[in-house]
Amino acid sequence: MATNKLIPPHGADELKILLLEGAQRAEELKRAETLPKVMISSREVGDLIMLGIGGFTPLSGFMGEADWKSVCADMKMSNGIFWPIPITLSTDKDVADGISIGSDVALVNSEDNEIMGTMTVNEKYSIDKEFECRNVFTTTDTEHPGVKMVMNQKDVNLGGPVKVLSEGIFPTEFKGLYQRPAESRKMFAEKGWKNIAALQLRNPMHRSHEYLAKIALEVGDGLYIHQLIGGLKPGDIPADVRVKCIQTLVDNYFISDRVIQGGYPLDMRYAGPREALLHAVFRQNFGCTHLIVGRDHAGVGEYYGPFDAQEIFYKLWDGALELKPLPIDWTFWCYKCNGMASMKTCPHTEKGDRLFLSGTMLRSLLSENKIDEIPAEFSRPEVLKHLVEYYASLEEKVEVKVHGYATGETKKK
């Protein structure tokens, strides 16, 4: 249930929770074992769990064709409710051919064969994958990890309502971090927070992240460090390492009762501006009033301008979204200011005045074992210690490509 003093969930008066528990779950699970099986990918597992816990309120299941097309083209569902990225499930044509419209299927995790939920199949349809990619990712380049994900989808989409039976590995492997929206809302309400900023993270917090977080704390009641604990692209730092780094930073450099850490189960899509909007939608469901949007939010490479993810919020129609962005300009360490600064606060522009910080640059130096080349201003030493230990433990390291946004060479478009 939504707490009166908190922001309401997106497009609804209360969270739409599709996760069954207790006797209901046991009965549906028994029935699911008799149903035709549809294998689902890691991305679809994460989406299903978010549907279950209310993170994707007001959705009731995987999208049908009309919603898919409308979301791709106009960022709204066929009923007019704002939604920025299609939430779909696909299967092979031969599997789809064996499913009758109106019948139920069991949704099975392709990685471990766990039954994750059931679905009433109301629609079967094929999609134009390039149309989706052009609209959602602004590119059809298969080097883009999100585009590759869509292009690798099966031939037929299945649409219909779901019942969710499992949260997968997340409650056990990320115990104490993984949270449902009802849980974060309860914590915010207990603390009396009304203005809550979410910080999206898929990297350990370096000094720029810390700076953004502290700006948000200056103007709000609390900070929700909400990090992705689902799938990432090769070369990104795994969740357990990030958790250790972030907790070390929070313990040493923040007032503890003004910060809450949480984790959510999605895979990254790397959709840049559209994904920033999706992050905003489900952060509203988690009870946040603001989303910190810095440089190249949810981006990859140079597919998006460094501040496209900020600008897209101002193109939305009135009433599309209640949560507001907290846009922050390019941040860096200024040697003349002797501290963190931004384009809006620092007058020093001579070469060598500024050190631009990024997770990409840090990962690149660590992966190449160039520890001595990491400036002290990049990261707190306690955090860097954890990262050095992690990279030293790797038998095989993925090359990290450093783009212009990571070095400050590519400026705002």
Write out the catalytic residue numbers: 202-203
Strand partners, 259: 223
Furthest C-alpha separation in the chain: 69
Evaluate the CA torsion angle 207, 212, 216, 218 in order and state its sign.
positive
Task: Show the tokens assigned to 407.
Answer: 């070095």
Q: Give the 3-state DSSP-derived string for the chain, with helices as H, strands as E and coil as C.
A: CCCCCCCCCCCCCCCCCCECCHHHHHHHHHHHCCCCEEEECHHHHHHHHHHHHCCCCCCCEECCHHHHHHHHHHCECCCCCECCCCCCEEECHHHHHCCCCCCEEEEEECCCCCEEEEEECCEEECCCHHHHHHHHCCCCCCCCHHHHHHHCCCCEEEEEEEEECCCCCHHHHCCCCECCHHHHHHHHHHHCCCCEEEEEECCCCCHHHHHHHHHHHHHCCEEEEEEECCCCCCCCCCHHHHHHHHHHHHHHHCCHHHEEEEEECCCCCCCCHHHHHHHHHHHHHCCCCEEEECCCCCCCCCCCCCCHHHHHHHHCCCCCCCCEEEECCCEEEECCCCEEEECCCCCCCCCCCEEECCHHHHHHHHHCCCHHHCCCCCCCHHHHHHHHHHHHHCCCCCCCCCCHHHHCCCCCC
Pick from 273, 328, 296: nearest CA to 408:
296
